[in-house]
Amino acid sequence: MSTFQLSNPSTGTTEDTFTRIEDSDRDAILDRATEAYNSWRTTSVDERARVLARAADLYEENTEELASHIGREMGKLTSWARAELGIVVDIYRYYAEHAHELLADRELPAQNALHTYVRKDPVGPLLGIMPWNFPYYQVARWAAPNLLLGNSLVLKHASICPLSSQACQDLLEDAGLPAGVFQNIYASGSQMDAFVADPRIAGVSLTGSERAGGAVAATAGENYKKSLLELGGNDPFIILGGLSDKDMDSVLDRYVGLRMYNTGQACNAPKRLIVLDDDYERVVAGLEQRISALRPGEWDDPDADVGPLSSIDARDEIVQRLEAASSDGTATVRVGGRALERPGAFMEPTLLTDVDPTADVGCNEIFGPVAIVYHATDVDDAVRIANDSDYGLSGSVWGTDLELAEQTAARLEVGMSFVNEASVTAAGLPFGGVGRSGYGRELAEWGVGEFCNDHLVRVRSLRK
C-alpha cells in the first residue's frame, strides 16, 4: 500500500495523506465502469442532460469551497479559482442545453436506400489522465461531452489534487449521476499503462507532459484504441507595428496578465512575445516595469498578483533552467529569475531577452511566470519566428490593421489562432493543437465527436 500527501505550495507544509489503489483493485474498478456504462448508455438524453445541468448548479453553489481546495492543492489564487469554476459551470450547462442538437443524427443523401444517416453512439468506459494546473476545468471539458454521449469515465488526476478530484465525482453523483459512471481513483502514473491496455477501456484522454503523452499513445496504439492528447505549448504573441503609445500600453497589460495568469502554469499562455525591431526597446522597457511590479502572495491573499508554483520541485526546476541559460549565454535575465526566500514554492516573475531559440529555454516550454521577448525585422520574420517551434497549440496577433492581423494569424501553424485576444477558452469553441502540443479536439461539438462511434445506418426495402 502506497500513500501520497497534499502539500500546500503556499506554505510548504503537508496537510493530509491519501492512499493509492492497489494493482489488484483494477478489475473491480473496470468491472464497475463497464456495468455502469451498459446502464448509462441506455439512459435518455433528457436524463443525461438533466444531470449535467444540475452539476453546473452545484459547481456554482459550492464555488468558494471548491476554490479553497485548489488553492491548498496547487496554489491557485482565489480570484483565478473562481474564474476557472465559472468556465466549468458554462461547460456543463452548454452540453445540457445543446444535448439534442449535439447528439442528433446526421442525415445523408439516400444513395440507393430509403434512409441513410449517421448516429452518435458511445464507445464504452474511458480513462482520463488529468493535470493539476486547472483541476476542475480539465476534467469538465473531458467529462461533460462524454457523459452526455453515454460513456462511463475513470479519472486518474494528478496526485497533488486529491480534494478537487474527489469533488468532481461527488458533485456529479449529488447531481444524480448513477454510481460507477464516474470514478475518481487515486493511482500512480506507473499504474496507468495497465489501465490503458485493458480491453475494458475503450479510449484514453490525457492532458499533461509530452513524456506521459507518448507513453499513453504508444500503449493505446498497440491495443487499437483511440487516444486524445493535449500537451504543452510555446505560444507566440505577435505585436504588429504602428501602435500608438496608448494601444501599446493596453497590449502589454494584456500580455503580462495572460502570461502570468495561474502563475504562468497554462499550456496555452502566450509565452513568446514577438515584436518588430522599431518597437523592441519600448516593449522591453514596458515589460520590465510591469513584471518587476508584480507581487507574489499565498493563494488566499487578495492583494497577490501571482501565487506560488505548484510545488517546490517545480519552482526549483525552472530556476535552475534560468540560471543555466544565463550562465551559458543563451538568454539574458532582465527581471527576476530567482527563488524567493520564504516558505512555499515562490519565485520572482521573470523577463528574458536575447534568447537563443535553439536553446532549452527557447525551444522547450517554461511552465511558470517567465516571459520571453524576441524581435523581428518585419511581419514575415515574425511569422517565421512564431512557427520555428515543434509546438502548435495556439497563437495570437495584435494590431489595429485587422486585415493584416487576420492574414498573419492564419499563417500560424497552430490549432487555435486569435486576433487581439489570446488564451481564449469557452464551451462552444474547439480546443487543441498540433505537433508536440498533441492531437484531437475538446469542447463544442468536437468534444462529443472524439470518443463516439459514428454509426452508419442504411435502410432499404426488401422489395425492389
pLDDT tens per residue, range 336-357:
999 999 999 999 999 999 999 9
Q: Please check the confidence at residue 1 and state whether its pLDDT lies above 90.
A: no
From CA 311, how far away is CA 112, in angstroms rounded?
62
Alpha-helical segments (H) within 150-279: 162-174, 192-197, 210-222, 245-260
pLDDT at 396: 98
Active-site annotation holder among 84, 230, 298, 348: 230
Residue 291 and residue 371 in contact, taking contact as beta carbons nearer than 8 Å: yes
- The residue count of the chain comes to 464
Q: Tell whether the model's pLDDT for residue 463 goes beyond 90.
A: no
Pairing of strands 3-8, 416-419: unpaired
Q: What is the mean pLDDT of residues 52-60?
A: 98
- Is residue 35's pLDDT more than 90? yes
Percent of the chain whose pLDDT exceeds 90: 99
Mean pLDDT, all residues of the chain: 97
Q: What b/e readout covers 11-35, taking b as 16+ CB neighbours within 10 angstroms?
A: beeeeeeeebbeeeebeebbebbbe
Segment 443-452 shows an average pLDDT of: 97
Cα–Cα distance, 307 to 8 (Å, whole number):
12
Per the CB < 8 A criterion, the answer to whether 76 and 262 are in contact is yes
Q: Determine the Cα–Cα distance for residues 247 and 242; give it in Å rounded to an integer.
A: 9
Residue type, 335: V
35 catalytically annotated: no
Contact 310, 317 (CB under 8 A): no
Return the closest-CA partner of residue 310 out of 149, 127, 158.
158
Bridge partners (DSSP) of residue 205 are 128, 228
Closest listed residue to residue 451, CA positions, set 131, 194, 204, 168: 204
Rounded Cα gap, residues 330 and 274, in angstroms: 17
Residue 52: what residue type? Answer: L
Beta bridge mates, 206: 129, 229
pLDDT the model gives residue 400: 97
Cell numbers linked to 12: 510548504
Determine the 3-state secondary structure of 457 from DSSP. strand
- Beta-bridged to residue 400, according to DSSP, are none
Rounded Cα–Cα distance for residues 342 and 344 (Å):
6
- Whole-number pLDDT of residue 277: 97
Pairing between strand 182-185 and 270-276?
Answer: unpaired
CB atoms < 10 A from the CB of 159, how many? 18
Those residues whose C-beta lies under 8 Å from the C-beta of residue 131, and which sit 6 or more positions away, are: 138, 158, 207, 208
Q: What is the DSSP letter of 158?
A: -
Q: Under a CB-based contact definition with an 8 Å cutoff, are residues 144 and 95 in contact?
A: yes
The answer on pLDDT for 464 being more than 80 is no
pLDDT at residue 443 in the model? 98
User: What is the reported pLDDT for 445?
Assistant: 97
* Cα–Cα dist 311/442, whole Å: 28
Residue 157 · residue 165 · CB < 8 Å:
yes
Overall average pLDDT of the 378-405 stretch = 98
d(C-alpha 234, C-alpha 363), whole Å: 8
Domains and CATH numbers, the chain: 3-231+437-459 (3.40.605.10), 235-419 (3.40.309.10)
User: Is 244 a residue whose pLDDT tops 80?
Assistant: yes
What integer is the mean pLDDT of 112-132?
Answer: 97
